[in-house]
Amino acid sequence: MVSGETRKADDASVALAVSTVIFALRRDEASGLATVWLPLVRRIREPFDGLWALPGGPLGAAEDLATAAGRTLGETTGLIPGYLEQLYAFGNADRSPGPRVVSIVYWALVQSEEAERASVGENVQWFPADDLPALAFDHNLIVDYALWRLRNKMEYSRIAHAFLGETFTLTQLREVHEAVRGRPLDPANFRRFIEGSDAVVATDQRVTGTRHRPPRLYRYNTSIDLADQGPLSRLNERREP
């Protein structure tokens, strides 16, 4: 008959971790097509010593969850995401051998240029999101879910610009959608769709030096953004069958 907010868990050995699935796009030199990649971190202790895992770490004492996700991501990979949203809390009793771990997982997007700059070494590497090796814990499941959320959300939301810089052409924006959704989109229809939603604002600049008609540069319409995540805003989710 009592709300349990302030009771402690009976078993104090439940550890709380925060992890982040962060995506960037990479262009394949051969085909010219972009695909979705993510950085993973090699574990250097048991369990799953030597396997690849999501970047993450423990929750700081006075730290919000999203802050912890950003901080641990930065500490392990050096990346600063342009978009960050809670994905799911994974806490099945059998998801980890040894002591019980509940992971609150975030998913994030980062610009390609930013991704290039980030530290990569023996213990941090980028992998193609739909062709991963066996990961530590239930992290394959987590990545699959995050990838599905990304694809789903790309269809109704305005997150694509988090993969791009300040300004971009509609073709670049279309290529982001094509990379995530995995199929080509009609350029004319895409243009009409984007300009119909006021997701984007035309600048008066154009890209010169291409071998064709110079495309106009666009900027994201930040007057709609406001807050973009979680329970504070209703701008961020929509459907699934």
Partner DNA sequence: TCAAGTAAGGGTCATTACAACCCTAAGTCC
Partner DNA sequence: GGACTTAGGGTTGTAATGACCCTTACTTGA
Dihedral angle, C-alpha 105, 20, 87, 28, nearest 10 °: -150
The span from the CA of 75 to the CA of 138, in Å, is: 22
Letters for 89-128 (x = contact with DNA by CB under 7 A, - = none) are ----------------------------------------
The span from the CA of 21 to the CA of 196, in Å, is: 31
User: Does 221 help bind DNA (rule: CB under 7 A)?
Assistant: no
User: Does 30 help bind DNA (rule: CB under 7 A)?
Assistant: no
Bridge partners, residue 16, by sequence: 102
Q: Nearer to its own copies by C-beta: 28 or 156?
A: 156
Q: What are phi and psi of 56, to 5 degrees?
A: 180, -170
Of 9, 201, 202, 227, the one binding its own copies by CB under 8 A: 9
Of 26, 100, 191, 219, the one binding DNA by CB under 7 A: 191
Of 40, 79, 164, 170, the one binding DNA by CB under 7 A: 170
Binding residues among 166-225 for its own copies as defined by CB under 8 A: none
Choose one: 48-56, 87-95, 138-146, 203-211; the region binding DNA (CB under 7 A).
203-211
User: Does 206 help bind DNA (rule: CB under 7 A)?
Assistant: yes
Query: Do residues 24 and 38 touch, judged by C-beta distance below 8 A?
Result: yes
The contacts found for 71-79 with CB under 8 angstroms, 24 or more apart, are 72/18, 72/19, 72/20, 73/20, 73/22, 73/108, 76/41, 76/124, 77/22, 77/39, 77/41, 77/118, 77/119, 77/124, 78/117, 78/118, 78/119, 79/22, 79/39, 79/108, 79/110, 79/114, 79/115, 79/118
User: Does 188 help bind DNA (rule: CB under 7 A)?
Assistant: yes
User: Does 186 help bind DNA (rule: CB under 7 A)?
Assistant: yes
Letters for 127-166 (x = contact with its own copies by CB under 8 A, - = none) are ---------xx---xx-xx--xx--x--xxx---------
Task: Report, in Å, the least distance between residue 7 CB and its own copies.
Answer: 5
Q: Which residues of the chain form contacts with DNA (CB under 7 A)?
A: 169-171, 186-189, 191-193, 195-196, 206, 208-216
